[in-house]
């Protein structure tokens, strides 16, 4: 029982939504006359019981904070895309290119506890 309590306590800090931005100092010329400004990586992590009951998921309203929502499934591609659009608007970019998303699933304790994550990465550009 102590192991379960320890895993759940650890999971409380692991269910979160984060975004990382890498900037090019002066922009980088693209093939189509655009300037590549930013590389963005977004990750939303959630913990599930029996692979489908959400226990803790990242809070899309508090990105880059150690915040989780309990028993709500916020692990969607749409939440990652919404965050990408917020970053693009905040940074004043006009085009999103080279976008890629994928899901990663890991099981802990066979099928009792599992961790799922959505990763989205994209290049944000501005036309010349």
Question: With bands split at pLDDT 50, 70 and 90, how would you rate the model's confidence at 110?
Answer: confident
DSSP letters for 80-122? HHHHHHHHHHHHT--EEEEEEEEEEEEEETTTTEEEEEEEEEE
Q: What tokens does 42 get?
A: 């977004």
Average pLDDT, the chain: 83
Is residue 120 scored above 90 in pLDDT?
A: yes
Q: How far apart, in whole angstroms, are the C-alpha atoms of residue 3 and residue 67?
A: 23
Q: What tokens does 18 get?
A: 């984060």
Please count the other Cβ atoms lying within 10 Å of the Cβ belonging to residue 44.
Answer: 27
Tell me the CA end-to-end span of the chain in Å, nearest whole number: 60
Tens digit of pLDDT for each residue in 59-92?
Answer: 998 888 878 888 999 999 999 999 999 999 988 8
Is residue 3 scored above 60 in pLDDT?
A: yes
Q: Ramachandran region of residue 92, left (φ > 0), alpha (ψ -120 to 50) or beta? A: left
Provide the residue count of the chain.
Answer: 128
Question: Regarding predicted confidence, which is higher, 116 or 36?
Answer: 116
Q: What tokens does 96 get?
A: 């999103």
Q: How far apart, in whole angstroms, are the C-alpha atoms of residue 126 and residue 47?
A: 37
Q: What tokens does 83 get?
A: 């965050």
């Amino acid at each position: 029982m102590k192991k379960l309590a320890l895993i759940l306590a650890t999971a409380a800090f692991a269910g979160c939504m984060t975004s990382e931005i890498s900037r090019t100092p002066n922009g980088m010329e693209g093939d189509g006359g655009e300037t590549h400004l930013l590389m963005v990586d977004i990750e939303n992590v959630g913990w599930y019981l029996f692979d489908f009951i959400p226990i803790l998921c990242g809070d899309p309203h508090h990105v880059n904070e150690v915040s989780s929502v309990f028993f709500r499934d916020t692990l969607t591609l749409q939440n990652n895309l919404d965050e990408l659009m917020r970053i693009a608007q905040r940074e004043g970019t006009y085009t999103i290119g080279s976008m890629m998303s994928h899901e990663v699933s890991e099981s802990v304790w066979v099928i009792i506890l599992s961790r799922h994550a959505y990763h989205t990465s994209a290049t944000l550009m501005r036309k010349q």
